Chains A and B, each alone.
Chain A
């Protein structure tokens, strides 16, 4: 395994060492203030803001701004509406990417158009309930939190105000992912560098929409009115919807993800509340960090990978055949009936060596 020290001796060692004289020890405010700063504009999932896979500079302070947006969100093709709560307006919240040793500096804004207090708990952060205890803000307030990205991997962040508000805010859409890359990039099981051509970020949500006496989904005029009924459905632990990126069909049709034969994609899969088991139908996970933590060697050649509720995992795959791939939660009832299906459209040449229909369907011969 690569230790953090070995990682630091990687590609850009000289630059890094010049910029971070004493990061292994606690840096003081003066030292942090001296670090370069970078402002990142977040983009909505399944896309991820531009980033380096291998850091070419030393540690930085990376600035993010996220407004919290409470809004109704249509979550299926029947027009079912969730009284949604979002980070930055999207479900899941946008993915942030930094490198190990960087400082994440988040300005969290709760506009006064919102009705509830919110905060953020970063699973990547250390202390204060992941930052939750330092970020609780009312409508009309904002707060700035800085934490040091000390562990590599994909990590969930979510809202965690207090008591029953915690699961309710999470299953209303308030979760997202931060990816902390090793400064010298990803490694395979042998410690050799590996890279991706594209990264796709899939957030899976379980929703709990109450039904009326006819069995139809209810809609509410406000979060407050939906709360009591929703909590009852939540306590039954049977989701009405299990979807990717906030809605059934959010990653199919026009929004299907696109790749080419020979391209390597990193698929980050995040579930803040409930276990799931992603599977790429007709493909594999070449290298999979099920727990999402890059300090552990990736598993190889997986058919299905397990993402624990409250974590994000990552799978690297190089497409070998063209076609329409379904990427599903391989509880197929959840995939087909509840919505957890995405599509990849992959262009390229067919490989007869990997697969060929030797004989077309036809009558069974009678001898």
Chain B
């Protein structure tokens, strides 16, 4: 089972314990802790370039794009801050981050996938809500016009000479010529996208719950024939898509073999709308809509 599906199921189960009385009309459950500001990402269907490595006829192929739909969801407006992460560390539920810049209102960086996952569990307990890492698809939808995905095609330019692709990719990465940006920035520094989500594509790459996989494509129609998933490695999104081992805290020591590696690794979380609550909320909204529009038949 995909990890994020597992998380979603666990999240839904946990949320059943939240008394319905605490749910406001806007669907914001109360909690013992001020939860992070989120932005609502409307349901969308996007042309999505699949993450992973693709082979057709035994040769590297370009990542295929497919139309993928997601329901509406809420995601943190900002990346998890160093201060918020520090509370989890103080509670003994998170490992200290590897990067400890002087300022506090900066995104936490120097965190690996396991740290991000541990934080989500702690944060869910602390807020009484259900939080998890976004899937790569959710991050693609939420980052909207800032989404980049894979910058370079992995396609074998010349089946008889693998070096042509290696040299092309090297030159493309060199031409992109991204200067490293190691200085931590205050949250909000890189501004909001059209959906109100801050800082995506700045100098912090974000963990997702999507595993790396190697996919075999049908050489004729390009359909997926099979895939080997490796959930020791996760998709990260940011200025470009990259893949990192779950224990890596420093982008320079994992991922991109050539080209400029991620400056920093961080994350933000999606607030899971449990199926039960979503149903109640949707019913309430339907009822309200009916009342105000006068078209209710109820």
Residues of A within 8 A of B (CB): 77-79, 214, 252-254, 256, 321-324, 336-337, 343, 345-350, 352, 357, 359-363
Do A321 and B58 touch (CB < 8 A)? no
B121 is an interface residue with CB less than 8 A from chain A:
no
Do A360 and B59 touch (CB < 8 A)? yes
User: Could you say which of B100, B167, B182 contacts A347, with CB atoms under 8 Å apart?
Assistant: B167
Measured between beta carbons, the chain A residues less than 8 angstroms from B59 are: 360
Nearest B-chain residue to A341, judged by Cβ: B258
B294 is an interface residue with CB less than 8 A from chain A:
no
Do B163 and A322 touch (CB < 8 A)? yes
- CB B243 to nearest CB in A, in angstroms, measures 15
B6 is an interface residue with CB less than 8 A from chain A:
no
Do A350 and B182 touch (CB < 8 A)? no
Interface residues of B in 154-170 (CB under 8 A from A): 160-164, 166-167, 170
Do A214 and B100 touch (CB < 8 A)? yes
Do A350 and B100 touch (CB < 8 A)? no
User: Could you say which of A252, A321, A343, A361 contacts B163, with CB atoms under 8 Å apart?
Assistant: A321
Do B167 and A363 touch (CB < 8 A)? no
Do A324 and B166 touch (CB < 8 A)? yes
CA distance A119 to B12 in the complex (A): 74
Nearest B-chain residue to A323, judged by Cβ: B163
Measured between beta carbons, the chain A residues less than 8 angstroms from B164 are: 322
Nearest A-chain residue to B158, judged by Cβ: A350
Extra pairs beyond A321-B163, A322-B164 (18, CB < 8 Å) = A214-B100, A253-B174, A253-B177, A253-B258, A253-B259, A256-B170, A324-B163, A324-B166, A324-B170, A343-B170, A343-B258, A345-B170, A352-B160, A357-B58, A359-B58, A361-B55, A362-B216, A362-B226
Do A337 and B167 touch (CB < 8 A)? no
Do A363 and B162 touch (CB < 8 A)? no
Nearest A-chain residue to B216, judged by Cβ: A362
Interface membership of chain B positions 162-206, coded 1 if the CB is closer than 8 angstroms to chain A and 0 otherwise: 111011001101100100101000000000000000000000000
Interface membership of chain B positions 38-63, coded 1 if the CB is closer than 8 angstroms to chain A and 0 otherwise: 00000000000000000100110000
CA distance A360 to B55 in the complex (A): 8
- CB B151 to nearest CB in A, in angstroms, measures 15
Measured between beta carbons, the chain A residues less than 8 angstroms from B100 are: 214
Measured between beta carbons, the chain B residues less than 8 angstroms from A324 are: 163, 166-167, 170, 258
- CB B256 to nearest CB in A, in angstroms, measures 12
CA distance A245 to B228 in the complex (A): 42
Given contacts A214-B100, A362-B216, contact A323 B180 (CB under 8 A): no
Given contacts A359-B58, A360-B59, A362-B216, contact A346 B163 (CB under 8 A): yes
CA distance A78 to B180 in the complex (A): 7
Nearest B-chain residue to A360, judged by Cβ: B58
User: Could you say which of A78, A345, A352, A359 contacts B167, with CB atoms under 8 Å apart?
Assistant: A345
CA distance A336 to B257 in the complex (A): 10
Sort A-B residue pairs by CB-CB distance and give the 4 closest, nearest first: A360-B58, A322-B163, A323-B163, A350-B161
Do A350 and B163 touch (CB < 8 A)? yes
CA distance A362 to B167 in the complex (A): 24
Nearest A-chain residue to B101, judged by Cβ: A214
Interface residues of B in 204-259 (CB under 8 A from A): 214, 216, 226, 228, 253, 258-259
Measured between beta carbons, the chain A residues less than 8 angstroms from B214 are: 361
Nearest B-chain residue to A79, judged by Cβ: B182
**Could you jot down 29 A-B contacts, CB within 8 Å?**
A77-B180, A78-B180, A214-B100, A252-B258, A253-B174, A254-B174, A254-B177, A256-B170, A256-B174, A321-B163, A322-B161, A322-B163, A322-B164, A324-B163, A324-B167, A324-B258, A336-B253, A343-B170, A343-B258, A345-B167, A346-B163, A349-B161, A350-B160, A350-B162, A350-B163, A352-B160, A357-B162, A360-B55, A362-B226
Measured between beta carbons, the chain B residues less than 8 angstroms from A214 are: 100
- CB A340 to nearest CB in B, in angstroms, measures 15
Measured between beta carbons, the chain B residues less than 8 angstroms from A350 are: 160-163
CA distance A200 to B174 in the complex (A): 21
Given contacts A323-B166, A350-B162, contact A363 B258 (CB under 8 A): no
CA distance A180 to B260 in the complex (A): 39
User: Could you say which of B167, B174, B177, B253 contacts A322, with CB atoms under 8 Å apart?
Assistant: B167
CA distance A323 to B162 in the complex (A): 8
CA distance A345 to B161 in the complex (A): 14
User: Could you say which of A78, A256, A361 contacts B182, with CB atoms under 8 Å apart?
Assistant: A78
Measured between beta carbons, the chain B residues less than 8 angstroms from A322 are: 161, 163-164, 167
- CB B136 to nearest CB in A, in angstroms, measures 21
CA distance A345 to B182 in the complex (A): 28
CA distance A347 to B55 in the complex (A): 24
CA distance A347 to B228 in the complex (A): 33
Measured between beta carbons, the chain A residues less than 8 angstroms from B258 are: 252-253, 324, 343
Do B167 and A323 touch (CB < 8 A)? yes
Measured between beta carbons, the chain B residues less than 8 angstroms from A352 are: 160
CA distance A347 to B164 in the complex (A): 8
CA distance A323 to B164 in the complex (A): 7
CA distance A254 to B228 in the complex (A): 35
- CB B230 to nearest CB in A, in angstroms, measures 11
- CB B226 to nearest CB in A, in angstroms, measures 6
Measured between beta carbons, the chain A residues less than 8 angstroms from B216 are: 362
CA distance A352 to B163 in the complex (A): 12
CA distance A151 to B58 in the complex (A): 55
Nearest A-chain residue to B60, judged by Cβ: A360
Measured between beta carbons, the chain A residues less than 8 angstroms from B173 are: 253
CA distance A317 to B238 in the complex (A): 40
CA distance A349 to B167 in the complex (A): 12
- CB B181 to nearest CB in A, in angstroms, measures 10
Measured between beta carbons, the chain A residues less than 8 angstroms from B259 are: 253
CA distance A360 to B160 in the complex (A): 14
- CB A361 to nearest CB in B, in angstroms, measures 6
CA distance A254 to B173 in the complex (A): 10
Nearest B-chain residue to A252, judged by Cβ: B258
